[in-house]
Each structure stands twice: as structure tokens, then as C-alpha cells.
A and B are shown apart, each in its own frame.
Chain A
């Protein structure tokens, strides 16, 4: 029984010490997992003396934890990479207004919550990648997401599965602009044009274009920066040089935009620190740290995107659809894709 007692004592000690609190801190639940984010939080601590405590996990799981903890939740800030998730937390009444003129000045209205409960901290666009050998620039001129249902793209398009939230947001934005019926008709034709059964992540779609398995792929903008940087190995680096990036819908609504965003939780025990933290994320220093590590687009004007992304042109036309609508239409988008046979 001695071993039993010893283990029990260790357990109790660990359990008590973990619970102890620091005075100057901010508690963060995040579904972003970049090594570079840890470095960013450290910069904040160095600057302000406020310690950043982090729990990272899947967005929806963290949201469930927030809901379950309710008013006694220790969380101050929730960060996620999909506006739909932010909208859902906002709708469930778990956020409060951030009340910061700095935030109001920097973030455009379509990229934050209706009462400033959450704000975008970096932008990403869902763009197209094509093989310049098999696709002419004439074909690409002004090409929009809607155009990809055209029969001339039959067997030429690569995209990942409909379980992915980036695709769900894209389809939600189409619903927001065209309604369910028109979007469903589009989706059916679009699925018929796929070069292969959806598989792999966004980078796998770009690789498919580079390898000649498809002529055109839909994937997020920052992946090309990641591949070109060489951080993913030589194979991906050389593949990335074989494809061209196209910003869709430049003659129409513009390219689909989504955000990494941060929201202020209703019961934030360290509200003051939390607002400081969110403001910090929008400073020049933090913004350029983010864009140079994750290859996202900056939220703040005057901060240049990474060169690896800027080379494809940074003055592209952005779709102004409110990102909050993605959340609203997300459940409908998923069902629509099921009906269209989008795996």
C-alpha cells in the first residue's frame, strides 16, 4: 500500500500547485497552433509583464469547454482561425464588447463582430492555384469561384473534402450572395468537374497541380508562402514554383476572405489585460511577426505582407461579404455539400 499512498500524495501536490494563480496574467483558449505564436506571446509578456497562459485545442471543443464552464470560466480571450466559430460564440452570448478605439480604427467593420465582441487579427484568402503550362492566362482572366462549375473545367479541378471549414466558409459566402438553391446547383456541377475524389489538405491540392494531377486547385493563400519558404522541404518548395496564384472574382465581388480572430469573453477574470493583449495583436510589431511567420495578410494597413506572398500582388480586390455570415450559413452549407455529393 506504500506505493499507493505515495502516488496519491504526488497527485494531490501536483493538483494543488497547478491551480495556483499569478496576479498579472491573461488566459487564452486558442485553436491556432503555430510555434511562432508562442514567440509572439512572449513578446507581449516582455513588454507588459503580463503572463500569457495558453490552452490550445480544436475550436469546437474549446467552445464546448467555455459553455460548460459558464460564468466560472478562467478564460479571457478566445482565438480561432474561422470567423464562423467566432460568430457562434458571439451568438451564444459568451463574448462582451472589446471597447477599444484602437481596435475600432484598425479593423474594418466586415471583419469584426456586430458589437466588437471579436476582431480579425489576420486575413487569409481562399484563392486558386493553376498550372501555367496547361491553363492559359486567358482562361484565368477574371475567373471566379462561380465559373468553376463550367463544363470546360471537367476533370481539371482539385479541392479538399467538404468536412474542411475553409470550404464550408467559402460555400457559406456563396449562399450569402446567391441563396441556397443557386449555390446547390453550382455545387453539383462543381463536384462533377473534380479531377479526383477530395483528399489531403490544401497543400496536397497545390501539389496535385504541380504534379499534373489537376490543372487548377482551390486552397488558402498562405500555403504557397509556407511552401516557397522551404520550411516544408525541397519537394514542396520546387512544386510551389510550378504553380501560379490567381485571386478569384476580380471582375466581380472579389476574393473570399476569412480571418484569424480574437474575442473577449463575457466572464473574463482579467478583462483589462485581455483588452491590452488584443490591442497588442494589432500593433505593427505583432502584425509583422504574424505575417512573416504564417504568411497571412495583415489586418493593419501599412504593414506589408511577407515578400513570398506579396510577389503575387497584394492590391487584390477583397470580397466585402461580412465574415460573420459564414457562421450563420455554415450548417446549411454542410447539408448542401452532402446533397451535392461533395465528399
Chain B
């Protein structure tokens, strides 16, 4: 077999990127401590049950929110539609744990919202209007309203690229609007939706902050309880490996489910979008459907945080804040850029060499997203210290561990799933015949990538950057454990306060995270809007 650059590059990268995940999985070959029998007898079933309900509830809710709003935006014209189109992404800037803090601040028995209701209606202190939120349904709401943008983004892109002709054919054949939606439009973009949904599921199971705040015992809180409380990191790693295996199973099922399907667009049949103008009650309904997710996922936490910040801690916005915000910003941009480049290279290699073994590797890289951040960070750290000790042992201090380089590497490994899902979806939409044409014109290898694919992938590339930027800005565990001395990001500040539930103190840095996250979201959504084909019609 003749190895080319397009095969060797991904293999090398693969080895570096897979090492941290492999380190976690490797724990399964170790001894199983007696703590396992304790876990099995007393708590494991409860952990699994809660995680299961969480995944189920979040999946259903984000499907409705994400696909629903994408369909409305793509097909109808209504009040503030142009605003909603990009504003629906805003909750991406809000980490789930921050929404969780907002929720308890508002809806606890003596939270702001309940107090307000009592005051307005002059009710006694025993009366509590809003139901308790520190439970599984509360957590489902928190995750759904912060994570639905993943599904919204991919569905929106897929709907835009969906051929009008097929929808029109469906209408001609007697399907009503609803039937067109769930019998034609949604099944056609199924791979994209499932891709987005997988990200949501992986982020939900790996979350610690929000469920811990709500005192819900999930699989991930169990991992940390075992590590922190029982001082047993081996068993914690073994538990994390089970999460990994779960994610791998999901990925295999997803690959299998689309094995025979080809979803490439028939470019010649592409027709521009036409929007039906909505009036009256329907206009109001469409408006509400888009406004509610933004209200709960973005406006509510921002207003509450601003209120707290104004009342308690404004001195946070000083010179140190500027350097911290800058750290956060450039780390996010660098990581997003390399992560997206990596995803393009790997996906190009897969397509160019159409190699099953590369496909498998790429899928495997994405499972890092399902591992709780701190566990993955431990894997990254062990890999870095291993490299330090083996290759640079003549230098007195640690080189890679606690370096910016190590930090960026950790971000890329954690976020690769985000880039891969968008770039992969982007490639699905490029007709394979384009490659054949290019080959007949003697365009191949690097020039095929740079002159043919990249221009067509521009939207996907920018979307990938957007997702990774917002992920890195919110990222905490890897930053905490891998950072150099005296190096802070905004998320570190939030954590420092939020860890002790000093939410009033945490409000200012939280607002800063949201604001710094908004800049790339706004810039990139503008670029995405300009770059996609439909805008030219």
C-alpha cells in the first residue's frame, strides 16, 4: 500500500489526540477495587436512572426547540425574523451551570421570582408560586435551553440546502404543511439532526456543574464523588470509561443508521427559498416560538446576572479583567482555528482516499466530548507529563504541562466533536461528482482541497469556529488543571466564586463570559450569512 501525506497526517494526529481518551479507557484493564461492590449495591442504579431520564428529556426538548425554530425561520416570514435567525444562537454563550444558578436564584422558595409574586399579590411567606427547580425536570430545562442551538444550527443549515423542488413535489402529491415537515423535510436532514443531537447528549452526560448545583446524582456526579470522596481515581476513571463506551455505542448506531443513505443534494434541482408571510395570530405564534427559547436561555440569565453584578461586584472590570478577557479570547480563537483545520484535513483525507479505517478514527476522536472535562483533562495531563519526562527530561522544569500549548491541545481534543460534526455535514452537501470533475481537470490533492472544497466549506468552517470558540470560552476543567502559573481565564473567575455558590460575586465574570462569547458569535454569524449560497438568490 502506498501511503500518501493524506493518510500519514491524520494517523499521526490521531495518535496524539487519541492518547488522552485511551489513557481513560486503559483504566478498564486495571484492578477493580472493592468500591465497585459498594457502588453497585447502593448508588449506581440511581445514577444511571437519573442520567437516563436527563438524556431522554433533553433530547426530546432540544429536538422540538432546535428543529422547530429552524423550520419556522427557514420557511416563514414574521416579525423580527431576521433578528431571531441569529439571536437563536445566543444561548450558546451561556454555560448550563450559569443558567442553573440563575434558576435557583429566581425560583427557589425565597428566590427573586417567588418573592416578587408574593410582593405583587401581597401573599404570605408560606405561599410559593413557582415549582421547585432543583430536580431532574429542572435540569432538563436548563440543558435544553442552553444546548438547543447545536440542533438549531445544523438543522437550519440543512433546511437551507434542502431542495425546494422536493418540498413542492410533496405538496403537489397532497401532503399538508405538517406532513411535509415530518414526512419529508425532517427525515431528509436526519443525519444532520442526529449529529447535533449527539453533541447535546454528550455535553449533557459529561456535565458536572449544573447537576451538582441541583444536587441530582448522575453518572458524572458519581464519578467525582468516587474520586473526591473515596479518594479512588482508578474507579472514577473506570466509571468514566463506561461513559466513553456509551458514547462509542451511540456513534456506531448513528453510523450504522445512515450506512446506505446518500443525502447529497441534487444541485441541479436547487431552487431558491420562498418565505410564506405570516400575519395575525400565526405571526404571534411564530414570534413566540422563537422568542421563548431566547428568553429562557439568554435574556433571563443575562438580566439576573446583570442585576447581581450591578448590586454587588462591579470592581471586577479593571485592568486584570482586560488581561483575563484577552487570555480567554485568544485561546478560544487559536483553538477554534486549529480544531477546524484539523477537522477539514481529516474529513478531506476520508473523502479523498475514501478509507473506512480513517472514518473509524475520525469517529473515535469525537468521543472525547462525552467525557467529563476534568477526567479528559487528567488524560491530557498524563500524556503531556509523559512527553515531558521522555523527551525533554534534560530541562529542569516541566515544558508542555502547564503551557499554553498544552492548554490549546486540550481544548482541541475536547472540542473536536464540534468541528467534526459541522465539517462532516458540510462535506455531505458537496456532491461527489464535483470531485470527479475536478480530477478530470487534473485538480487533485492540495489544490482540490484549497481551490474546490474550501470555498464550498466556508460556511461549515466558520460554524465550526463559532462552536469551538463558544465552547472554549466556557471551558473550565482543563484550564484549571493545565494552566501555567498566574494565568486566568474568565471561566476560572466564575468558577472561583461559583464553586462556593457566591453567585453575586460570580455574576460579573459570568456576564463577561457571555459578552466575550457574543463577539465571535455575532461576527461569525454575519460571515456565515454572507457566505451561504442562498443569500445570493
Residues on A lying within 8 angstroms of B by beta carbon are: 3-4, 7, 10-11, 14-15, 18-19, 21, 27, 33, 53-58, 60-62, 64-65, 68-70, 72-74, 88, 161, 163, 165, 168, 197-201, 203-204, 207, 211-213, 232-233, 269, 327, 330-331, 333-335, 338-339, 343
Nearest Cβ in chain B — how far from A161, in angstroms? 5
Given contacts A163-B221, A335-B230, contact A19 B403 (CB under 8 A): yes
The answer to whether A331 and B232 have CB atoms under 8 Å apart is: yes
The answer to whether A11 and B334 have CB atoms under 8 Å apart is: yes
- Inter-chain CA distance A64–B380, complex, in Å, is 12
- Inter-chain CA distance A338–B46, complex, in Å, is 11
The answer to whether A58 and B221 have CB atoms under 8 Å apart is: no
A-B contact count (CB 8 A): 150
Residues of B close to A331: CB separation below 8 A:
35, 229-232
The answer to whether B230 and A27 have CB atoms under 8 Å apart is: no
The answer to whether B381 and A65 have CB atoms under 8 Å apart is: yes
The answer to whether B486 and A65 have CB atoms under 8 Å apart is: no
The answer to whether B480 and A58 have CB atoms under 8 Å apart is: yes
The answer to whether A211 and B110 have CB atoms under 8 Å apart is: yes
A-B contact pairs, 15 of them (CB 8 A): A4-B341, A11-B405, A19-B403, A33-B499, A54-B486, A55-B486, A72-B385, A74-B397, A200-B501, A207-B110, A211-B125, A212-B125, A232-B504, A331-B229, A334-B229
Residues of B close to A212: CB separation below 8 A:
125
Q: Chain B 475-510, CB within 8 Å of chain A: the 1/0 string?
A: 001001101111100001000110111101000000
The answer to whether A68 and B496 have CB atoms under 8 Å apart is: no
B77 at the binding interface (Cβ < 8 Å):
no
Q: From DSSP, what is the main secondary structure of chain B's interface residues?
A: helix
Shortest beta-carbon contacts, A-B, top 3: A334-B229, A53-B485, A57-B480
B311 at the binding interface (Cβ < 8 Å):
yes
Of the residues A72, A163, A198, contact of B397 by C-beta under 8 Å: A72
17 further contact pairs, Cβ within 8 A, besides A15-B403, A60-B228: A18-B403, A19-B399, A33-B496, A55-B485, A57-B480, A60-B233, A61-B378, A68-B385, A68-B401, A74-B397, A163-B221, A168-B229, A199-B215, A200-B215, A211-B110, A331-B232, A334-B230
Of the residues A64, A88, A163, contact of B212 by C-beta under 8 Å: A163
Residues of B close to A213: CB separation below 8 A:
109
Of the residues B385, B403, B484, B497, contact of A70 by C-beta under 8 Å: B385
- Inter-chain CA distance A107–B104, complex, in Å, is 41
Of the residues B224, B311, B312, B501, contact of A203 by C-beta under 8 Å: B501
- Inter-chain CA distance A14–B331, complex, in Å, is 11
Residues of A close to B382: CB separation below 8 A:
68
Residues of A close to B484: CB separation below 8 A:
18-19, 55
The answer to whether A61 and B481 have CB atoms under 8 Å apart is: yes
The answer to whether B485 and A233 have CB atoms under 8 Å apart is: no
The answer to whether A54 and B485 have CB atoms under 8 Å apart is: yes
The answer to whether B334 and A201 have CB atoms under 8 Å apart is: no
Residues of A close to B532: CB separation below 8 A:
none
Nearest Cβ in chain B — how far from A343, in angstroms? 6
B8 at the binding interface (Cβ < 8 Å):
no
Nearest Cβ in chain B — how far from A326, in angstroms? 12
Chain B residue with the shortest CB-CB distance to A164: B229
Identify the interface centre among A18, A165, A330: most chain B CB within 10 Å of its CB: A18
The answer to whether A64 and B42 have CB atoms under 8 Å apart is: no
Given contacts A55-B485, A68-B401, A70-B385, contact A88 B231 (CB under 8 A): yes
Chain B residue with the shortest CB-CB distance to A88: B231
The answer to whether A61 and B374 have CB atoms under 8 Å apart is: yes
- Inter-chain CA distance A269–B485, complex, in Å, is 15
Residues of B close to A73: CB separation below 8 A:
398
CB under 8 Å from chain A, chain B span 434-467? none
Chain A residue with the shortest CB-CB distance to B499: A33
Residues of A close to B389: CB separation below 8 A:
70, 72
The answer to whether A64 and B398 have CB atoms under 8 Å apart is: no
Given contacts A33-B499, A204-B501, contact A14 B404 (CB under 8 A): yes
- Inter-chain CA distance A19–B110, complex, in Å, is 49
- Inter-chain CA distance A15–B482, complex, in Å, is 13
Of the residues A18, A69, A201, A204, contact of B487 by C-beta under 8 Å: A18
The answer to whether B230 and A69 have CB atoms under 8 Å apart is: no
Nearest Cβ in chain B — how far from A240, in angstroms? 14
Residues of B close to A327: CB separation below 8 A:
231
The answer to whether B42 and A339 have CB atoms under 8 Å apart is: yes
The answer to whether B397 and A197 have CB atoms under 8 Å apart is: no
Chain B residue with the shortest CB-CB distance to A56: B496
Residues of A close to B501: CB separation below 8 A:
200-201, 203-204
Of the residues A10, A74, A334, contact of B225 by C-beta under 8 Å: A334
Residues of B close to A54: CB separation below 8 A:
485-486
The answer to whether A60 and B403 have CB atoms under 8 Å apart is: no
Of the residues A57, A232, A269, contact of B481 by C-beta under 8 Å: A57
B402 at the binding interface (Cβ < 8 Å):
yes
Residues of B close to A199: CB separation below 8 A:
134, 214-215
CB under 8 Å from chain A, chain B span 130-157? 134
Nearest Cβ in chain A — how far from B324, in angstroms? 13
Chain B residue with the shortest CB-CB distance to A339: B42
B259 at the binding interface (Cβ < 8 Å):
no
B43 at the binding interface (Cβ < 8 Å):
yes
The answer to whether B229 and A7 have CB atoms under 8 Å apart is: no
Chain A residue with the shortest CB-CB distance to B479: A57
Residues of A close to B217: CB separation below 8 A:
343
Residues of B close to A338: CB separation below 8 A:
38, 42-43
Nearest Cβ in chain B — how far from A124, in angstroms? 13
B337 at the binding interface (Cβ < 8 Å):
yes
Residues of B close to A69: CB separation below 8 A:
385, 398, 401
- Inter-chain CA distance A61–B381, complex, in Å, is 11
Nearest Cβ in chain A — how far from B476, in angstroms? 10
- Inter-chain CA distance A207–B110, complex, in Å, is 9
- Inter-chain CA distance A69–B481, complex, in Å, is 12
Nearest Cβ in chain B — how far from A206, in angstroms? 12
Nearest Cβ in chain B — how far from A260, in angstroms? 13
Residues of B close to A19: CB separation below 8 A:
397, 399, 403, 484
Residues of B close to A3: CB separation below 8 A:
337
Nearest Cβ in chain A — how far from B19, in angstroms? 14
Q: Chain B 92-130, CB within 8 Å of chain A: the 1/0 string?
A: 000000000000100011100000000000000100000
Residues of B close to A207: CB separation below 8 A:
110
B197 at the binding interface (Cβ < 8 Å):
no
Residues of B close to A11: CB separation below 8 A:
334, 404-405, 408
Nearest Cβ in chain A — how far from B513, in angstroms? 17
- Inter-chain CA distance A10–B374, complex, in Å, is 27
- Inter-chain CA distance A99–B136, complex, in Å, is 52
The answer to whether B311 and A15 have CB atoms under 8 Å apart is: no
